[in-house]
Structure 1
Amino acid sequence: MVFVPLAIFVFGSASAVLSASTPKDPVRLRDLVKRGGTVTGPVLPLNFADPGLILPNGRAPWYVYSTSSSHGKVPYAISEDFKTWTGVKGDALPNPGSWVSPSNSAVWAPDVRQITSNSYVMYYTAFSAANGNHCIGAATSSTPAGPFNPQASPIVCDASGGGVIDASGFEAPGGTLYLVWKVDGNSMGKSTPIFIQPLGANGYTLQGKATQLITNDPVDGGIVEAPSLVYWDGFYYLFFSSNHYNTLKYDVSYAISKSVTGPYTKVQAPHAPLLVSGKCGTAGPGGATVINVLGESPTFSLMNGCGTLTIFEPIQDKYINAVFHNDINGKNVSAGRSMWQISDLTLSNGIATVNC
């Protein structure tokens, strides 16, 4: 469980307006005012594409992981407050595995998920030495900094479909783990469906069958990719990017469902896409990772000249944070893509909202 300080201040018992008992769906302070997720960037002004985000054990520091660059196979950075980020601290996956092509060993779109208090799994994309297509690998570590140790073989491949990329993990209400990914059909002039499949308790063994969630439509510019799934107040939100990543048409959009396996409905204008070039100063925004965080307020009392300052019994406080990449030169990917972020992304009744 994530613990995030949230103070509720009441001076004197006569002025108390909130009960110490928490209802099933408590009113959150941030819901009492008009708000929306705040877009900020660049928060990592260096080449840091396809960022993956995690808050280990629900406590700072936050970790972010990047596609391969001059900084390493999977560079990572940290933040104590989700405001200021360090530069690259190291390489979380220096060895992507024996199954990866030695002539093209770059790693794309890493996503790290915590399985237990000291068990982490990284999902990543690389070229397979066996078939020359993109496959999805998994690596494990006892710490979020790694180094992560790769499995001997990839966990998902689809040579006939054009390969697979952009894997991300998801834990559904109730604890079932899933893997979500994109079939890279655009590499062969085919469609680009996004699939989901259950995982075993270890976080990397596929179970059951894969289910298609969405695929590309004409409005998507031929591509949907970079899926990231979260659950919030009765809705599953599947965030994704559409259009070509190396153009200013790249975006962050989303689809919604009442069931983890769908069917999903793509949200349309004016509520989607969530981010397009020009909104909040972005250029080619995409490759987002969206995670939900659950915290509780602490409990204690203080005395001052006005009476007793009381902080009530813990009240659950949920919020959503996200990271994404953005063209550094404001034109295309030739100068690299820096990391931007969204703090407290608002999700309500199937609609996502951000502010600049």
Structure 2
Amino acid sequence: MKTRLFALALILFTLSLSSCNSDSEKKEKPSNENITTTYKNPVVSSSFPDPTIIKANDGYFYLYATEDIHNTPILQSKNLVDWKLIGTAFTEETRPNWEPNSGIWAPDINYINGQYVLYYSLSVWGGEWTCGIGIATAEQPDGPFTDRGQLFRSNTIGVKNSIDPFYWEENGKKYLTWGSFRGIYCIELADDGLSIRSGAEKIQISGTAIEGSYIYKKGNYYYLFGSAGTCCEGANSTYKTVVARSEKLIGPYVDKTGKSMMENNYEVVIQGNDVFVGTGHNSEIITDDEGNEWIFYHAYFKSNPDKGRVLLMDQIHWINEWPVVTNQSPSSEATAPVFN
């Protein structure tokens, strides 16, 4: 009798362990209900041209864009797919005003020496000698941003159409590239990133075919991305994202055949298709938790350009050490970035 009771107790104990393990596994197993596995372009169907993006210390991504031209909107996301508008970098009272009646274009966000630094273009349409690049700073990515004034203007730096800034830091040195269809130039900045290093000279690194420069380092090469064509003509826009590469930051940048970007040669990364046109002015490339690389850029709906330059995202692949987007054009629906 005791043996039978012991056996029965052992069975019940084993079952209770199994039940506990099962409950524990259910609790520990993550839910997939809220994980985004696919996305559709555009990821933002409102006009947000000239995007720049950063992953902040709080774990969120923050994206800044040209619209509204006066105040610079800020979007926030945890997964690069679902974005919400959380404010603007400036207000009507705090926006830069050193160029009267101008708009704030093509911002570039960075984290430098413990603060968020936003480089921006200030210009009026056609003001190629009066436009320039300024700086604003903030303690948090959502601001408030304090304008620090101009870094330089076209007429002081000697480069016509000085807009579209991009910041680069390497080996303790800081650089800025900029330019729009009048050459892309590079210059070294001071240690704080808020002024030009004393004695620094500008260096031209690209010809007159592109604007919106962005540099990405991968393996042995620096990749200079830019936008060629017309940006802002609705369904007639010919904008496209292009690239060349170099073994040195200041070039020479060349295409696949070795022809120089100084002579306006490049490789096409993204161009229009039946749905989207004007595919250009890309953001920084962002890497997800599985090592996939993603690029943002703007485009018009071919059938509804009045919606403005909407925000698109696509994955960058690498073939023979060159960046490639599938079909060289925007996707309609694709696998989403992965974040754990």
Shorter-chain TM-score tier: 0.7 to 0.9
Give the letter aligned to residue 100 of structure 1.
E
Corresponding position of 1:255: 244
CA distance in 1, matches of 2:137, 2:178: 19
When the two structures are superposed, what TM-score results if normalisation uses the length of structure 1? Answer: 0.69
Select 2:89's aligned residue among 92, 102, 111: 92
CA distance in 2, matches of 1:201, 1:157: 21
Is 2:187 the partner of 1:197?
yes
Conserved in 2, the CA contact under 8 Å of 1:92 and 1:148?
yes
From the superposition, tell whether residues 97 and 205 of structure 1 become closer, same or farther in structure 2 (CA, over 3 Å): same
Whichever structure has more helix as a proportion of its residues is 2
Is 2:302 the partner of 1:324?
no
Select 1:290's aligned residue among 284, 287, 297: 284
Corresponding position of 1:339: 311
3-state DSSP of counterpart to 2:117 = strand
From the superposition, tell whether residues 165 and 89 of structure 1 become closer, same or farther in structure 2 (CA, over 3 Å): same
Conserved in 1, the CA contact under 8 Å of 2:39 and 2:81?
no
Is 2:231 the partner of 1:231?
no
Give the letter aligned to residue 239 of structure 1.
F
CA distance in 2, matches of 1:352, 1:39: 21
Q: Which has the higher contact order (CA 8 A, sep 6+)?
A: 1
Corresponding position of 2:206: 214
Unaligned ranges ≥5, structure 1 = 1-37, 187-191, 217-222, 296-316
Give the letter aligned to residue 49 of structure 1.
P
Identical columns (%): 25
Larger Rg: 2
Corresponding position of 2:325: 354
Corresponding position of 2:53: 53
Is 2:76 the partner of 1:83?
no
Q: CA deviation at 1:353?
A: 1.4
Unaligned ranges ≥5, structure 2 = 1-37, 260-265, 332-340
Give the letter aligned to residue 323 of structure 1.
F
Q: CA deviation at 1:162?
A: 2.9
Q: CA deviation at 1:146?
A: 1.1
- Give a deviation string over 1:247-266, Cα, whole Å, max 9, x none: 43210001100001111113
Corresponding position of 2:34: none
Is 2:117 the partner of 1:125?
no
From the superposition, tell whether residues 323 and 294 of structure 1 become closer, same or farther in structure 2 (CA, over 3 Å): closer
3-state DSSP of counterpart to 2:239 = coil
- Give a deviation string over 1:113-163, Cα, whole Å, max 9, x none: 1113x41110111138x99721111111111111211113x1122236433
Conserved in 1, the CA contact under 8 Å of 2:276 and 2:301?
no
Conserved in 2, the CA contact under 8 Å of 1:65 and 1:76?
yes
From the superposition, tell whether residues 157 and 285 of structure 1 become closer, same or farther in structure 2 (CA, over 3 Å): same
Corresponding position of 2:62: 63
Q: CA deviation at 1:272?
A: 2.9
Corresponding position of 2:263: none
CA distance in 2, matches of 1:282, 1:83: 18
From the superposition, tell whether residues 225 and 132 of structure 1 become closer, same or farther in structure 2 (CA, over 3 Å): closer
CA distance in 2, matches of 1:266, 1:55: 31
Q: CA deviation at 1:204?
A: 2.3
3-state DSSP of counterpart to 1:288 = coil
Q: CA deviation at 1:318?
A: 5.0
Q: CA deviation at 1:319?
A: 4.8
Corresponding position of 2:271: 276
3-state DSSP of counterpart to 2:163 = strand
When the two structures are superposed, what TM-score results if normalisation uses the length of structure 2? Answer: 0.72
3-state DSSP of counterpart to 2:293 = strand
- Give a deviation string over 1:159-183, Cα, whole Å, max 9, x none: 36433111111223x242211100x
Q: How does 1:33-52 map to 2 (within 5 A)?
A: 41-52=41-52
3-state DSSP of counterpart to 1:140 = strand
Q: CA deviation at 1:199?
A: 1.7
- Give a deviation string over 1:37-91, Cα, whole Å, max 9, x none: x99521111011111111123x631111110328x610011111112111x2111
Give the letter aligned to residue 326 of structure 1.
A
3-state DSSP of counterpart to 1:171 = strand
